[in-house]
Amino acid sequence: MSAPGLAELLERAEALYLDYRLGAVKEWKQRTGGLAIGYMPIYAPRELLHAQGVLPVGLMGGRDDLEIIKGDAYYQSYICHIPRSTIELGLNGSLDALDGMLFPAICDVIRNLSGIWQMQFPDKLSHYLDLPQDFDPEMGGKFYRQDLEHLSELLVQRGARPLTAEALAHSIELYNAERREVQALYELRRLQPWKVPTHELYLVLRAALVLPVEESTAMFRQYHEAVAADQARKPVDQARVVLTGSFCEQPPLGLIKTLERAGCSIVDDDFVQVHRFIRSDIPASDDPLGALVNAFLTDGMASPTRYVDRGRKGDELVQRTKACGAEGLLFCAPSFCDPALLDQPMLVRAVEAEGVPWTAFKYSENSGQFQVIREQAGTFADSIKLWSNA
């Protein structure tokens, strides 16, 4: 028997994940009268929005069940899938509950989407979040801080309350709490992956994107308690793998299930990275905005969308792989994802030097068939086990 409340929790998470029309966001707006602002992968300063009474809503594209009717008219076949589903959702009214959108500077496709958005939805706030690629507080930091102050001003113009240090400090605490919960779940999965199947964790991560931080933190905690207490979940003998490359366009749930069924136990991943992009607590400070900026500069993940010199990304991936005791690495990137695919040879070189087995495949958020991936991942998992048993 599974732990009490777990099934209900997962059911709710799935409902939130499946609800393109953002019912939870509408309900929140009705309740609070606040603004809701969407953001694209992979990082957004949610603390700042929250401090101004704004609900940050994570948009990670569509899923395999979204029929693309208008979105394909915007993008050629050699461009990844996420911008077309995002446009589709915008045009079919699914995102009407949002008062604006943030487009973080992660690649040229999302960058240009910000321009299309400005023109298609002129009444809504549309802000390109030009995340700095210089990480010196006096240069990139100064620039980023000005951008955030500008964003804050734009929110006020739309009716949000002005940003105060107290409110921001409080919001940072709340998001620190959420980060700790998420990290604790990842830690539990690292130690006892059978307790935290990734297809469940993924659902909870996706569901949290549309909830206010207080609720998402509680949901992570409840899920953690429920699965930790669930005695029905017994260890299984699967290959421990790290999955990397899926930081922007998210894989369909079916792909994650396919990997698990093929014998892969995912012990670290890049999914829905916004929850973990800042790796540790943002310290309390008299200047909370400075602290928020500084966290981005110094404590952000070594994502492929971030400039990291001297091949340190490879080192970091090797470290991550070792830290979670993984036996292999899955490069699982969306088709036509420039940042992920351009990084891949560099990362492969680093993990190969350490003798970590790896395999690579591509997907798109609407992939409907996984036969090839199932066979590839299955063979990979089998070979890892053979190798480790030898």
Partner 1 sequence: MSRPDAAVAAASEASKDSSQVRQKEMIARHFDRLAKSKETGEKSAYTFVPGNLSELLLSFDVLPVLPEINALQSAMRGRSAEYISVAEKLGHSEDVCTYVKSDIGMLKSGNVGPTGQRLPDPDLLLLSYTGCFTFMKWFELLQQEYSAPVSMLHVPYQADGKITDAMRTYVVDQLKRKVIPTLEQVTGRAYDEDRLKECLALSAKAEDDLVAVLKSARNRPSPIDSYFGAVYYVGPIFSSFRGTQEAVDYYKALREEIDERVAKKQGPVTPEGEMGAERFRIVVEGPPNWTSFRQFWKMFSDEGAVCVASTYAKVGGMYDLGFRHDPSRPLESLAEYCLGCYTNLSLPTRIDLIVKYLQEYEADGFLINSVKSCNSFSAGQLHILREVEARSGRPGGFIESDLVDPRYFSAANIKNRLESYFQMLQQKSPSSVGLAAAR
Partner 2 sequence: MRYAVGIDLGSTTTKAVVLGEDARPLGRGITNSRSNYEVACAVALAEALIDTRFSLVSRELEASGLPAAARAELLLELERQFRAEQYRSQLRELDRVVTRHSRRLLTRPASLSVVLERILARMAEEVDSLYAPGARRKSDFFRDLAGSRYLALAEDEARSSGVGFDLLAGLFDKAILEVENSAAASGRFEDHGRAAVDRMEKPDPLLQAAVDRAAATELCQIGSVGTGYGRQKLPFPEAQIRSEILCHGLGAHALFPGTRTVLDIGGQDTKAIQVDQHGIVTSFQMNDRCAAGCGRYLGYIADEMSLGLHELGPLASCSTRPVRINSTCTVFAGAELRERLSLGEKREDILAGLHRAIILRAMSLLARSGGVRDQFTFTGGVAKNNAAVSALKSLLRENYGELQVNISEDSIYTGALGASLFALRDAEGRAA
**By CB under 8 A, what part of segment 45-104 binds partner 2?**
64-65, 67-73, 76-77
CB-nearer residue toward partner 1: 106 or 167: 106
Rg of the chain in Å (alpha carbons)? 20
Min dist. Cβ of residue 380 to partner 2 (A): 20
CB-nearer residue toward partner 1: 82 or 266: 82
CB-nearer residue toward partner 1: 147 or 268: 147
In the chain, the amino acid numbered 225 is: E
- From 368, 374, 370, 361, select the one nearest 64 (Cα to Cα): 368
Based on the shown chain and the rule CB under 8 A, indicate whether residue 152 belongs to the binding site for partner 2. Answer: no
CB-nearer residue toward partner 1: 188 or 348: 348
CB-nearer residue toward partner 1: 279 or 349: 349
**Beta-sheet strand order (sheet of 264-268):** 264-268, 239-244, 328-334, 358-363
Among partner 1, partner 2, none, partner that 284 touches (CB below 5 to 8 angstroms by kind) = none
Min dist. Cβ of residue 305 to partner 1 (A): 8
Pseudo-torsion of CA 64, 67, 73, 78, nearest 10°? 20
Based on the shown chain and the rule CB under 8 A, indicate whether residue 336 belongs to the binding site for partner 1. Answer: yes
Among partner 1, partner 2, none, partner that 387 touches (CB below 5 to 8 angstroms by kind) = none
CB-nearer residue toward partner 2: 18 or 184: 18
**By CB under 8 A, what part of segment 339-358 binds partner 1?**
339, 341-346, 348-349
Burial class (CB in 10 A: 0-12, 13-18, 19+), 241: buried
- Residues in binding contact with partner 1, number by CB under 8 A: 57
Among 132, 193, 263, 328, binds partner 1 (CB under 8 A): 132
Which residues, at least 6 apart from 102, have a Cβ–Cβ distance to it below 8 Å? 37, 38, 39, 40, 44, 127, 129, 151
Which segments of the chain does DSSP mark as H helices, in order? 6-18, 23-32, 46-51, 82-91, 108-120, 142-157, 165-191, 198-208, 213-229, 253-261, 288-299, 312-323, 338-353, 371-389
* Binding stretches for partner 2 (CB under 8 A): 64-65, 67-73, 76-77, 366-369, 371-372
